[in-house]
Structures are given as C-alpha cells and as structure tokens.
Amino acid sequence: MTDTANQFKKAPKRKKEKTRSVQVSPEMRQAYADLIKQKEEREDYAKHLPSNDKGR
C-alpha cells in the first residue's frame, strides 16, 4: 500500500517571494493607458460585427 497517510494532508504554506517594481515615466504610463484603451475599443467594435464562421 502506498503512503495514504500523507495523501490528504494540507500542503505547507509557501514563503512569499519579493515583488519587483518598475518605475516608468508619466509619458510611458500614458502611452500604455492609450494602448489599452485602443485595444478595448477594437474589441468592442469587433463584438458587434457578424461572426465569420462559414470560412468565406
């Protein structure tokens, strides 16, 4: 028989890793925000288009 005593025990908690932070300029932050906004607008636009399932 295999070791069933340990099979249903809780796993030990992991230690939290140190997080890394990155400093970006306000211009880069704004450019990233604009990029996300453009992506959302494209997705909203594409959502209303008819699907092309028939493989035209």
**How far, in Å, are 6, 33, 38, 49, 52 from residue 42 at the CA level?**
51, 14, 6, 11, 17
pTM for the whole structure: 0.46
Query: Token pair 């997080």 is at which residue?
Result: 19
Q: What would the two tokens of residue 37 be?
A: 């906004």
The model's pLDDT over 2-29, given as tens digits with 9 standing for 90+, comes to 566 667 888 888 888 888 888 999 999 9
> With bands split at pLDDT 50, 70 and 90, how would you rate the model's confidence at 35?
very high
Q: What would the two tokens of residue 44 be?
A: 């909203």
Sign of CA dihedral 43, 45, 50, 56: negative
Q: What would the two tokens of residue 2 be?
A: 């295999």
